[in-house]
Structure 1
C-alpha cells in the first residue's frame, strides 16, 4: 500500500501557524516554556484511504495534526475514491476520502466500522479545480469547449490539428501529432466529476452518465492522479485531467464558460460550489453537493471537484469515533482549510459550509 504515514495535525487554531513549517512528519514540538500550548491528550491511530486528489492536502493536514498531537498516528492511502469507499465499507479504514459522494446503493448497505443500525455521511473537506493538462510540442496555450473536450476523450478527435481544435485556437500552431488522451484506469471520483462536467455540457457527445470508472474504450489508462500526470508528462501529444494541485509545469487548457475561455483558480472553483445546492432526498446530516456545471458566469470554473470525508454517524468503537471526529473536524476547520489552500492550492470551504460540517460532527458518536 502507498501509505502516507504521519501523526496528527491540530484541531485548533494553532494549526494554521504549524502547518507550513518545515517540521518533519515525525517531529514533536520542541518548546517547553510557560507560554507553550497545553499538551495534547489525544492518542491512537487512524487508518484512512481514498481520493488521491486529497494527497497533497492530507500530507499537510497530517503533518500539522501530528505536530500538535504527537501521540496520534494517521495513515492515509491515496488508493482512489472507489477503493477508499470500498475499504471503509468493509471496515478496513476509519473514514474514506472520496471525490464522489456515497451512491444510493452504498447508503442502503451496511458499514462495518459503524455501530449497528447506523449509517455513514458525506462531509465536504476539500474543493479543487480539475485541470485539463496537456503536453504538445510547440503549444503553450490551449482553448477547449466541452464538446471538443468530450470528443477528444471519447476518441472521436484523434489529431491535434483537427478542425474543431483549430477553430478554437486560431493563433496556435497545432501539429498533426496523434492525440493520446490519458484517463484514470482505477475507479476515480475525479473521473466521475470530469464525466459529470462533460455530460452536463455536451450530452449529445458524452452520452454515458457520470460514474467512477472511465466509460469509454479509448485513450490510455493510468493509475491514480500521479499516474495520469506521469503519463502526460512523459508522453507525446498527450492530454489528461487531474487535480489542479498536481498540474506542475504542464500546459493547462482553458475551458469555455459562457462566451469566454476561463483558466482555473481556487476562487472560481469555490464560486461554483457556493452556488450549488445539496443533493435532494438525502439525510439532513449528509452534505453531498449537486454541482452546477452549466453556469455561463465567467467568474466561475465549473470543472471542479468536491472531495468528502465519508464518516460513520456513530462508530462501533466510540473512542475511535472520537479520534476521527477530531481529525476530520480539523480538516474542515478554518485552520485546516488554510493549510489545504497553502499546500495544495485548494479552494477553502465557505464559512457557511464549514459551519454545516462542524454541526454534523457535533452529533457524531
Structure 2
C-alpha cells in the first residue's frame, strides 16, 4: 500500500438514541476480544456510519464478552451525524465513511484535550454494491457513465439504449427507473459520488460530498432505508454497503474491459494501491482512494470507513476505553470478526500495524 504516514441540542439526541445495547450485543455469538480477565469498566458511546453496523454488532459482542464490565453503544446514525456528535462531545468516537474534512479539522473537538485535533483511523474496508430490483432481470452490467446518468435522472427507462448496449441478451422492461439515494449526510454517498466523479467526470460533475448532490430520484434514510426502498419498490436501483445487499440483484461494474462484481479482495486491492491524504498530521491515516484503475482484479467502488478518535482525551478513563475497543476492532482478530459478520476486507498487515501504533499512543 502507498499509505506512508504513521506515528505515535445534538449531544442529548444522539446519546438518547444510541441503539446498540450491551444486552442485544451479548445475545449474538462472536469471538471474544480476549480470553483474559479484564479490569476495564465503564460505558463507551459511539455513533456514525451505518455501513459499519453489521461489523459493529459483532465487534461489540466480542469485546463485551472479554470485558463484561464495559458497555459499548454504537448508533448507526450515518457518517455525518456521527462526526457531528463526536465534534460536539456527544460520543467518544465516530464511525465515518468520510475522513474529517479540512474545515472540521480546523475546528475544536469537545471530547479531546485542549488544542488536540482528532485523527482518522481506517477500521473497515468494504465494497459498495449497486443493488437493483427489476422485474424479470437477474443480472445487470453497467459502466460508470451509465450509473451516473441513471442517478442524475438523465436515463429514466430500464430499456434505454445505453443500458441495453451493456446487457446483450437481457430482456429489459419498458418501465420507469426509481433510483434511490441516501437522504441523510452519508459517507457512502460521498464514496459513491467520488467513484462516479473520478471515472465519469463528464457526467457526474458535482464535487463528492456527504449530501446527495442532485434533485432527482427517491431519498431514503440510512443504509437500511435504501435497502428497504429498493426491496419494497418496483424497478428500483440504489447503492449500499455490500454487506447489506441480501437477496437483491447486484450490478457488475465495468473495470477496464471487464464487468466486475463486488468483492472484499477487489476492494482491498484498490486501498493497497491508494496514497495517503496529503497535508494531515503524521498520525492521521486518511486514504485518498484511486478509483481509475483498469485492472479487473480491483473493485474501485469501495469505501474505507474510519474510527475518528482523539490522540489525547479530556477524560483519561474514556481514553482507556477507546484505546482498548478501537485497538481490538483494528486488530487481526477484530478484522476477522468483521469479515465473517459483514464480508468486509481485513486491513492489510501493514495498515494494521500503522493503526496499532496510533492507538497505542492514545492517552
Please state which band the TM-score falls in when normalised by the shorter chain. Answer: over 0.9
- Quote the RMSD (CA, aligned, Å): 1.7
Normalization by structure 2: what TM-score?
0.93
2:267 is the alignment partner of 1:269: yes
Structure 2 unmatched ranges of 5 or more: 1-16
Q: Cα deviations across residues 262-312 of structure 1 (Å, max 9, x unaligned)?
A: 001101111100111111111110000000100000000000000000000
Checking the alignment, whether the CA contact within 8 Å between 1:7 and 1:25 is kept in structure 2 is no
- Aligned residue among 302, 305, 317 for 1:304: 302
Aligned twin of 2:322: 324
How big is the shift at 1:215?
0.2
2:32 is the alignment partner of 1:5: no
- Aligned residue among 311, 314, 337 for 1:313: 311
The alignment covers a number of residue pairs equal to: 346
Residues 335, 149 of structure 1: alpha-carbon distance in 2 compared, 3 angstrom cutoff: same
Structure 1 unmatched ranges of 5 or more: 10-22, 30-35
How big is the shift at 1:314?
0.4
How big is the shift at 1:2?
5.2
Aligned equivalents of 1:145, 1:126: Cα separation in 2: 26
Aligned twin of 2:87: 89
Checking the alignment, whether the CA contact within 8 Å between 1:47 and 1:76 is kept in structure 2 is yes
Aligned equivalents of 1:328, 1:311: Cα separation in 2: 9
Aligned equivalents of 2:198, 2:35: Cα separation in 1: 50
Q: Cα deviations across residues 164-197 of structure 1 (Å, max 9, x unaligned)?
A: 0000001100001100000000000000000000
- Aligned residue among 286, 289, 297 for 1:288: 286
How big is the shift at 1:38?
3.4
Normalization by structure 1: what TM-score?
0.92
- Aligned residue among 236, 239, 247 for 2:237: 239
Checking the alignment, whether the CA contact within 8 Å between 1:8 and 1:65 is kept in structure 2 is no
**What are the equivalent positions in structure 2 for 1:177-216 lying under 5 Å apart?**
177-216=175-214
Residues 7, 113 of structure 1: alpha-carbon distance in 2 compared, 3 angstrom cutoff: farther
- Which is worse superposed, 222-231 or 272-281? 272-281
Residues 25, 74 of structure 1: alpha-carbon distance in 2 compared, 3 angstrom cutoff: farther
Aligned twin of 1:118: 116
The alignment partner of 1:307 has SS state of strand
Aligned equivalents of 1:235, 1:310: Cα separation in 2: 35
